[in-house]
Structure formats: structure tokens, C-alpha cells
Amino acid sequence: MCGIVGFLGGRWSADLSPIRTIRMMADAIAHRGPDCAGSWCDQTRRLAFGHRRLSIQDLSEAGHQPMLSHSGRYVIVFNGEIYNQRELRVQLERSGQAPRWRGSSDTETLVACFDAWDIQTTVQRCAGMFAFAVWDRMTSTLMLARDRLGEKPLYYGWQGQGDSTTFLFGSELKAVRAHPAFEGKINRGALSLQLRHGCVPAPYSIYDGIFKLESGCLLSISLDAREPKVWPYWSAVATVENGIAQRFTGTPEQAVDQLEALLRKSVSQCMISDVPLGAFLSGGIDSSTIVALMQAQSARPVRTFTIGFHEPGYDEATLAKAVARHLGTDHTQLYVTADQAMGVIERLPTFYDEPFSDVSQIPTILVAQLARQHVTVSLSGDAGDELFCGYTRYQRSARIWNKMSHVPAPLRRLAMKGVAAVSPNVWNSMADAVRPMLPASLHKANIGDKMHKAAAIISSDSFDELYLRMMSQWDNPARTVIAGFEPSTLLTDNAPAFNGVSGMQRMMALDMITYLPDDILTKVDRAAMGVSLETRMPFLDHRVVEFAWRVPQSMKIRDGESKWILRQVLHRHVPRRLVERPKMGFGVPIGHWLRGHLREWAETLLDPARLRREGYFDPAIVRLKWKQHLSSEHNWQGQLWNVLMFQSWLENQQTQTNSAHSTNEDTDDARQIL
């Protein structure tokens, strides 16, 4: 796991040393690779590569990057892991195309495959998580690549004016910002999307002219063909449609066997490491399955890590401890105080260098910090919900739509107005009055806000509109952003057809191509790499993903129980009684904290004079939300957190920019090939 940076073109001169510039860019993301650094320049072609290394496999000098292929044709900077690299080496050796190996790194395997096959064929044969840049010295072409599901990030774009115009790329925006050509104009369309989704979805970034390479795509560019050409080498849409069309026809027991075999292999490959390795364990279905399969293949206790909160409804530590005890793992847990959690908040802009406001970012950073004290690599159970229908909103939304879609739209809109006419506080009071008469499973918090959200959903004119509203914090964010607008996204003008899927499957598929890479994987990557921890996600092996979409929906939802097939795998290792419980989100009581410990911090960021001076948000709209939240008239924690994360990020920019331009000559192990 590493950080990669680079630039092509621009003005090269003595006062703009390419080596000094590439070092600054790489040092800006030193947290992604604290073990060593390297650089490579081609003065004639005006190309520079930089690399920061977190050494995981082949800790020797043979794994150093940037790396040249044995033929000398390709130069690469690589971030990630190729889990099947040993299999790829065997294929090269059997075909007589293997070089004389210098070491055992997957980077060397990758460039050897480029020499033997070509870049696209190679990535199609790889199983792993990665983002890389490769320079073809024969054709003077730069190519960028990102893994199929989007675990590893990669930003790119042209910046600067005139002869200073430069193509920049990097693992994080910090690296791109460190280049002298970087302009840094905020994209108000991207800001509008951040208010809606809590993140900036690909291909956009918070900056004009800087983009995210989308999942499963390759990009090529050269100084002769300056318009980036982007194309997919793997299609999530085709994977969904092919899975539905080629449905698994075996028995449920055979399906469970096949899923366990695929997961066992994926977990086994994810456990290959030359440094200490462990796993996050929440006690839920997904992480417990991963840990159970790890322990089943390990001769020693697996290191597992959990954090807990003292606030009711947010603590998973007790459940995780019970699973760990049963499996015999070497378990570490930490109960986090409100002060510890809030200490993370002021550092969020340094972890997430574009506005990001999924509140589960806070516990994710805390558990990553805990794990990093003991290991360098941690496996995670992320993506189980998207693949095996785990989110409660899947069943709930499908059920609402099936009932309400037959009701004429005018009547549904009338019902919405009726529900919205009653304030959330009144709905909460009515719920409190009847709660003693209801079973515990129906005891829900913030009923009033849920009623208002449901009212908006049932008035939707289509299932896609229903899904968009389900996934939105602000329903019309462009009204709140001054001069705001919403660019086209996969959830608006460009939604895939996903032929043959049901409404519930459509939500899962849309989550897989939007919410998963833009929110979940971004959250985990930045949190973990911010403390120099590599995370690996066995559920995202593309062979697991492809099989999951072949599994009939009846094996994912059975008798109202989600993730049925995955539960059967887990029950072979962990008793049902230890893991069967209502789904719990990985969150913090941020709404309560905004009325208490965080109130002064938030008030400073939401000061109306400040909002007017900065000129990004309509102060009247934001202040009304803030006032209603403080009075408990509404719970606007999601909407306010989106605004606060932008405000905090904006405040942090000048400090972060200064830091990005600093150099550290003493620790830089840079190389020059001119």
C-alpha cells in the first residue's frame, strides 16, 4: 500500500526543478507510505513520477518504486495489492515469458505481465485493489488505472495556464495541490453534490479541472493527445446483468459451499503479508465471517480490533468480544469517550482532503488508530451489505414502493403534505405515548424525522427518484449553495438500465457503483492510510462479486432475514446466538453532540457573518436548520454535518497548502533517471 504522484508537461527549468516538485508532491502524502520514497524523471518527455512506500510484501530494495520493467519499456508507480500475483508468475513461467526475477513484489509481477501481454490484458487478469500510473517509453503514453470496485483512489487533471499547463495525478488531492500549476478553484457543482450525498461522487472532485478516475477504468494521455481517453476494462453493470441472466441453479447448500470456497480463497490471499496483520471486528455478520475464515486458516490467534461507545445504541464492543472469544482471536477493544471522539473531529480535514461527511468516519479513524498500534495490515468486512442485501432500507423501500406505487401520485403527494404538516416533535410525542404498548423491535428513535423522510419518499414519481431521495441529505442542495448547480451523476441523468433486476436489486446495484466507492471505500481508505494502515476487503474480490450477483435473491432474503446465504457460511463457524441481532450502524451520536460538546465549535463555523464573507452557503437557510436542530424541533444532524465538514475543510486549506509545499530533504530517498 502506497501513495503515487506524477505530472506530465508544463514548464521545466532550473527554478522549477522537477525533482524538487515531485518530492514535494510525494511528501504531501507521506502518511500513505512512511517507509521510503522514490522519484523518476524523463527530462525529454517532461514526465515525473513519485512514490511513497508502505512496505507490505518484499521489504527489500527489490520492491523499490518507481520501477522499470525488465525490458525497460515500462515505468510504473503502483498503489495496492495484486492478490493473485503468485498465480500470474506461474502463468508467465509456464509460457516462457517470465524474466529473471529480482524480488517477490507484486509490482515486479505487474510490469513483467505488461511486457508479456499488455496493460489492459494484465489488469483484466489481476485480482486485487490498485491504482497505478505507467509510462510506455516506446509510445510516450501515460496510462492510469483503478481497480474494479474503487478501493484505491486516483485523482487527475490539467492545471495551469499557457506553457505552465500540466497534467497532474495523485492518490490524494494533497499531492496534486503541492504542484505549482495547481489552481484550486472550488467547483460549486461538486459542493452541491457533497451536500446531497455527504461525499463528492466520481468523476468529480471538489476542484474545477480535477477528476477522480472511475472504478474499473483505464485512462491514456500524451502530450500529442492531450484529451484524456477513459474506458472501462471491467463493467459493474455487465456483472449485474450477466449475474441475473446466468443465475446460480444449484441447491441452497451448494450455493453456500461455493460462496464459502470463494471467500476462503479471497481471505487466504488477503492474508499474504510480510508484516503483522489483523482484522476489524464489529461482531456483525460481515466482519465476523471474515475473521472466522481468517482464524480457520491461521495457525496462531488472529489479531482483532473493536471500539465501543458508552452511549446506548452505539456500542458493538460486547458483541464483538463474544465472537472473538468463541473464535479464539487475540482481541483488543477500546471504549471511546466523547472527548476522544471529538478530538478526531478537528483533524478530519487532514484525513479527508476534500469535504466528506459520513459521520461513521469518526469511529473508522479511531479503530484504524487502535489497529495500527499493533499491525500494519487489517482486513475488513466492508461490502457485505451491498452484495448480500444487508441494509434495512432495501427491504423497507421496496415494501413502501410496492404498496404506494399503485396509489395515484396526487394522493401520495397529499399524504406527504399531511404527514409534513405535523412537526417531528409531535410525532415523537405520539410515539412516546404508545411505545410501552409496542414490542421492543418497534422502539425507534427520532420517529418524527423518519416520518418526514418517508413522506418525501412516497411522493416520488419513480423508483429511481425514491432511491435518490433515500440517499440524499439535502433534497435541493443547489438552493443552499450560492451559485450552486448539480452536475449529472449516475443517480440522475445517467442511471444504468440494469436489465432484468427487481427494485431491491436495483438499489443494491446502484449502491455498488455509487455509495460503495464514493462513500464507504473513501471513508476506509483515508481513515486507514491517514495512520499508515493498509486495509483489505475480501468481499471485493471480483470473483466473489460476480458470484454474489448470480445468487438468487431468494438466497439473500429469506423469511424477511437479510444476507441469508452469508449467514449460513458464518453459522458454520460461529453459533447463531452470538451474531443474530438487529443491524447496528457504525456511527456516533453526532446530533446530540452538536447540541452539547460540539455546539461552540459548530457555532463558530456557522456564524452568519462568516458564511456571508466566504460566499458558499445561503446563511438564512443554514441558520434556520441550525436553530431548528438546537431546539430539537428537527434532527438536522446529516444536513448540518455536511455543511460543517465543508466549513472545517475550507478553514484547513491554507494550513494544508503550506504544509504540502514544505520539503524534507533528509528523509527523501529520491532517485533521478534523466
Residue 545: burial class (beta carbons within 10 Å; 0-12, 13-18, 19+): buried
Per-residue model confidence (pLDDT) at position 673: 34
**Beta-strand pair 141-146/217-221:** antiparallel
Bridge partners, 78 (sequence order): 132
C-alpha grid cell, residue 546: 460476480
For 29-42, the three-class secondary structure string (H helix, E strand, C coil) is: CHHHCECEEEEEEE
Q: Is residue 29 in a domain?
A: yes
Assess whether pLDDT exceeds 60 at residue 401: yes
Question: Do the beta carbons of residue 451 and residue 424 sit within 8 Å?
Answer: yes
User: Distance between CA 160 and CA 607 in Å, rounded?
Assistant: 34
Secondary element (H or E) of residue 68: strand 67-68
Single residue among 234, 256, 275 that ends a domain in this structure: 234
Helices (H), 271-391: 285-296, 317-327, 338-345, 348-351, 361-372, 384-388
Statement to judge: residues 600 and 494 lie in one domain:
no
Quick one: 572 and 596 in the same domain? no
- Tens digits of per-residue pLDDT, 526-564? 999 999 999 999 999 999 999 999 999 999 999 989 999
Q: Where are the alpha helices (DSSP H) in 375-472?
A: 384-388, 392-404, 409-420, 424-434, 447-458, 463-470
Q: What string of DSSP letters covers 535-572?
A: EE-GGG-HHHHHHHTTS-GGGTSBTTBTTHHHHHHHHT
Tens of pLDDT, residues 258-304: 999 999 999 999 999 989 999 999 999 999 999 999 999 999 999 99
The answer to whether 202 touches 215, Cβ cutoff 8 Å, is yes
Measure Cα distances from 197 to 37, 193, 201, 424, 471 in Å.
35, 6, 8, 23, 6
155, 159, 196: which is closest to 474 by C-alpha? Answer: 196
Residue in 68, 243, 190 with CA at minimum distance from that of residue 138: 68
Q: Pick from 98, 22, 101, 26: which is nearest to 60 by CA?
A: 101
For residue 175, give the amino acid letter: A
DSSP states of 184-204 as a string?
--B-HHHHHHHHHHSS--TTB
Both 650 and 619 in one domain: the answer is: yes
CATH classification of the domain holding 310: 3.40.50.620
By the 10 Å C-beta count (0-12 exposed, 13-18 middle, 19+ buried), 434 is classed as: exposed
For residue 440, pLDDT beyond 70: no
Distance between CA atoms of residues 644 and 492, nearest Å: 25
Pair type for strands 128-136 and 141-146:
antiparallel
Per the domain annotation, does 211 fall within a domain? yes
> Model-level pTM?
0.92
Average pLDDT over residues 490-498: 88
**134, 76: one domain:** yes
Give residue 583's pLDDT. Answer: 60
Contact 18, 71 (CB under 8 A): no
Assess contact for 658 and 177: CB atoms under 8 A.
no
For residue 51, which of 124, 112, 115, 105 has the smallest C-alpha distance?
Answer: 105
Q: What are the angstrom distances between the C-alpha of 46 and each of 7, 89, 139, 170, 182? A: 8, 33, 14, 17, 17
Amino acid identity of residue 209, one-letter, is G
Assigned domain for 667 exists: no
CB distance 10 to 181 below 8 Å: yes
| 663 domain-assigned | no
| The pLDDT of residue 672 | 37
Residues 115 and 151 in one domain: yes
Is residue 526 included in any domain, yes or no?
no
In this predicted structure, what is the pLDDT of residue 458? Answer: 76
For residue 529, tell me if it sits in a domain: no
The yes-or-no verdict on residue 582 having pLDDT over 80 is no
* Residues facing 540 on adjacent strands: none
% the chain with pLDDT above 70: 92
* 374 and 302 in a common domain: yes
d(CA 364, CA 370): 10
Mean pLDDT of 395-417: 80
Residue that is last in its domain, among 545, 579, 613 = 579
Q: Is residue 612 part of a domain?
A: yes
Same domain for 364 and 431, yes or no, is no
Residue 94 exposed, middle or buried by CB count within 10 Å (0-12, 13-18, 19+): exposed
* 135 and 264 inside one domain: no
Q: How many CB atoms are located within 10 Å of the residue 340 CB?
A: 15
pLDDT in tens, 142-201: 999 999 999 999 999 999 999 899 999 999 999 999 999 999 999 999 999 999 999 999
Measured in degrees and rounded to the nearest 5, phi and psi for residue 274 equal -100, 10
Average predicted confidence (pLDDT) for the chain: 91
| CB 281 within 8 Å of CB 305 | yes
Verify whether residue 2 is a known catalytic residue: yes
Q: Are residues 243 and 337 in the same domain?
A: yes
Domain end (from 180, 205, 234): 234
Q: What is the DSSP string of 78-143?
A: EEEEETTHHHHHHHHHHTT-----S---HHHHHHHHHHHT-HHHHHHH--EEEEEEEEETTTTEEE
Count of domains for the chain = 4
User: What's residue 432's pLDDT?
Assistant: 72
Catalytic-role residue among 2, 126, 199, 389: 2
Kindly tell me the sign of the dihedral angle through the C-alpha atoms of 243, 294, 535, 121: negative
C-beta separation of 115 from 74 below 8 A: yes
Task: Give the structural domain span for 97.
Answer: 2-234
The reply to whether 408 and 448 lie within a common domain is yes
| 664 inside domain | no
What 3-state class would DSSP assign to 46? coil
Do residues 329 and 408 both lie within one domain?
Answer: no
Whole-number pLDDT of residue 659: 55
**Cα 445 to Cα 169, 394, 450, 532, 592, distances in angstroms:** 44, 19, 9, 37, 12
Q: Mean pLDDT over residues 380-404, rounded?
A: 91
- 217 forms beta bridges with 232
289 & 429 share domain: no
Return the pLDDT at 305.
Answer: 97
